[in-house]
Structure 1
Amino acid sequence: MEIVITGRHTQIKQKFRDVVESKMNRVTAIAPDTQRIQIVVSHEGNPRLADTAQRVEITVIAGSTVIRAEASSADMYTALDLALDKLTLRLRRARDRRKDHRKGYTPLPVDEGPVTPAVDVAEEVEDSTMDSPQAAVASELAPGESVEVQVGDTPIVIRRKLHIAEPMSIDEALYEMELIGHDFFLFVNKETNRPSVVYHRHGWSYGVFEIDTPENVKDLEKKD
């Protein structure tokens, strides 16, 4: 198993690396097929955010499954423990789901109404930077590559990444969303072949939003 620890705006000391390695047995105990664990530690320099200045993101890659969790605190060791607690909970859910599928599984109900979710940008380690927002949006990306650019003198940062994924069902997309801990998940619906988003609405309610072009819709209407 490979453990990769990266610091953003902070240096990672050997003591923290040793603590990480000692705690990762919690991961392998639940997911023995884990191949890689990526940990990113970020430091927020704003004194007003001192209580959450240290953020730890943990990503586990086990076969074709990716599970992610993050947490913030005043120190990186506490943030690590909080993120690890969230991660182990999601790992157990993934393990239990595999058991449920062997026994027979009922998909979660979703609302396919016209509610448009707020779109966020996935938080990944940037691979390169661009000089303008237009360049960041318009540039060609290789699979897994990302670009990041700051808008002028503002604190706004645009980050874009190309992710290659196999088409999946709505139920599978909901499952992936829960594993990475986001409020939404972008995917290609294998039933319609349309770019789609599943998202949390309220309570235990979920929604799905699909995108298509007027031309494609007209073509489908003609075929019908």
Structure 2
Amino acid sequence: MSVNVKGRNIDVTPALKEYVEKKITKVTKQFKTVGDISAVLKVEKGNHIVEITVPASGILLRAQETTKDMYSSIDLVVEKIERQIHKYKTRLMKRKYSNFADTAVPAPAPAAEAADEGEFEIIKNKRFIMHPMTPEEAILQMNLLNHDFFVFYDPDLGATNVVYRRKDGKYGLLSPELK
């Protein structure tokens, strides 16, 4: 495991780098495998922003915090990561002692009509590594990241699927098929 600390509009001093490494290493000791941790320290309009991404044991933990002091931002973002880890571990324990087979994933909502004809502009293209997981694990990962949807590979079906959070608070599963 290595901690990559980068600065934007700020020089990352050895003391800052050591502080980030010390705080995040203490938190990630709970995982068997931890990938390369990314920490980005930024200063924008007097605000000190810290973003940390931790790939650990098949999950991705990510948090961001903004304050007027860099060390405070680091402390708060590490606390967020700790809460995510606690949330993840708690859900794993609940899952271990409950039967997810009884939990039905609702059918996906019908596709919406296409938007007006015209130009569509893609403003961001993101590449990512998909790990094989069950729909329940994907929902857990989606909730950890605080996203509304999550793309994953289901090894049982041998296909890429999407879980999403519905407006009613329940979850949907999209299983595409080629025609």
Q: TM-score scaled to structure 1, two decimals? A: 0.59
State the distance in 2 between where 1:68 and 1:35 align: 13
What's 1:96 paired with? Answer: 90
| Superposition deviation, residue 5 in structure 1 | 0.8
Kindly indicate whether the alpha-carbon contact (under 8 Å) linking 2:150 and 2:162 is maintained by their aligned counterparts in 1. yes
State the distance in 2 between where 1:41 and 1:105 align: 42
| Superposition deviation, residue 27 in structure 1 | 0.8
Look up the equivalent residue of 2:151 and give its one-letter code: L
What's 1:221 paired with? Answer: none
Look up the equivalent residue of 1:112 and give its one-letter code: A
Task: Report the CA distance shift for 1:43/1:164 in structure 2 as closer, same or farther (over 3 A).
Answer: same
1:85 counterpart = 2:79: yes
1:139-162 C-alpha deviation (Å, 9 max, x unpaired): xxxxxxxxxxxx9xxxxx833233
State the distance in 1 between where 2:110 and 2:50 align: 32
State the distance in 2 between where 1:112 and 1:80 align: 41
State the distance in 1 between where 2:163 and 2:110 align: 11
Q: How many residues align?
A: 170
Task: Report the CA distance shift for 1:158/1:190 in structure 2 as closer, same or farther (over 3 A).
Answer: same
Look up the equivalent residue of 1:3 and give its one-letter code: V
What's 2:70 paired with? Answer: 76
Look up the equivalent residue of 1:113 and give its one-letter code: P
Task: Report the CA distance shift for 1:184/1:43 in structure 2 as closer, same or farther (over 3 A).
Answer: farther
Q: What stretches of structure 1 of length at least 5 have no aligned partner? A: 118-150, 152-156, 217-224
State the distance in 1 between where 2:153 and 2:82 align: 28
Look up the equivalent residue of 2:127 and give its one-letter code: L
What's 1:66 paired with? Answer: 60
Task: Report the CA distance shift for 1:116/1:3 in structure 2 as closer, same or farther (over 3 A).
Answer: farther
Report the more deviating stretch, 17-26 or 193-202. 193-202
Equivalent residue runs for 1:141-180 within 5 Å: 158-180=123-145
Task: Report the CA distance shift for 1:166/1:17 in structure 2 as closer, same or farther (over 3 A).
Answer: closer
Task: Report the CA distance shift for 1:83/1:182 in structure 2 as closer, same or farther (over 3 A).
Answer: farther
1:207 counterpart = 2:145: no
What's 1:22 paired with? Answer: 22
State the distance in 1 between where 2:140 and 2:100 align: 12
Task: Report the CA distance shift for 1:115/1:5 in structure 2 as closer, same or farther (over 3 A).
Answer: farther
Task: Give % identity.
Answer: 28
Report the more deviating stretch, 53-62 or 107-116. 107-116
Kindly indicate whether the alpha-carbon contact (under 8 Å) linking 1:110 and 1:208 is maintained by their aligned counterparts in 2. yes
What's 1:37 paired with? Answer: 37
State the distance in 1 between where 2:158 and 2:76 align: 38
1:106 counterpart = 2:88: no
State the distance in 1 between where 2:99 and 2:16 align: 41
Task: Report the CA distance shift for 1:96/1:9 in structure 2 as closer, same or farther (over 3 A).
Answer: same
Task: Report the CA distance shift for 1:194/1:102 in structure 2 as closer, same or farther (over 3 A).
Answer: closer
1:151-181 C-alpha deviation (Å, 9 max, x unpaired): 9xxxxx8332332324433212112212333
What's 1:196 paired with? Answer: 161
| Superposition deviation, residue 56 in structure 1 | 1.7
What's 1:5 paired with? Answer: 5
